[in-house]
Amino acid sequence: MAVTQPTLTALDVMRDAPVIPVIVLHDVRHAVPMARALVAGGIRMLEVTLRTPQALECMRAIAAEVPDAVVGAGTVRTSADAVAAARAGARFAVSPGFTPAVGRACRDAGLPLLPGVATGSEIMTAQEEGFFALKFFPAVQAGGTAMLKAWQGPFGDVAFCPTGGIQPGNAAEFLALKNVACVGGSWLVPADALEQGDWSRITRLAREASALQRV
């Protein structure tokens, strides 16, 4: 009998932990031990980016073998990406930008979407389509905390996940803002840790990220 997964919202994804790891996987053999290492450190929402040919197979492996993880698809740019990710077991989606077509495809596939925005007009477009939990990307390059503070007035009903240029040294500055629900970052899964199979290092980085404070 198939197991029915609980329904997620984009805010559920953003509020589960202070950091959503942005993960690039080139080897399917790394997927399951990496996911287990992140979960052991308190990070369950795992954004596996569609930047490699192995990404969908990695999602399938995590979805099948790491029940405590919630695998999501990052770098979703087309409707076809959304459909493929859902079929691979993804339970949420993250996009670098936003189009209404991608938004509809994610809804049709049952994937909560964190659409990427970098301007006020993009925020308004996403809101017109019913999206109020958004990814601010590329965060540092597009104005950083100053931009987020400026948006608190006109877009006080939006929760953001800043991603792009976020590191341990500046994550706390973003998480201190009232319109930031979490941040996204690639530092939790360093490429050399994957290659070396250093799962304890990934668990340590996840544990440190889980301990970050947010308002």
Q: Give catalytic residue positions.
A: 47, 135
DSSP β-bridge partners for residue 49:
74
Q: Are 15 and 181 in contact (CB under 8 A)?
A: yes
Task: Give the separation between CA 29 and CA 13, rounded to whole angstroms.
Answer: 25
Region for 36 from its dihedrals, namely left if φ exceeds 0, alpha if ψ lies in -120 to 50, beta otherwise: alpha
Task: Give the separation between CA 22 and CA 48, rounded to whole angstroms.
Answer: 6
Task: Give the separation between CA 6 and CA 197, rounded to whole angstroms.
Answer: 32
Task: Give the separation between CA 44 and CA 60, rounded to whole angstroms.
Answer: 16
Task: Give the separation between CA 170 and CA 81, rounded to whole angstroms.
Answer: 31
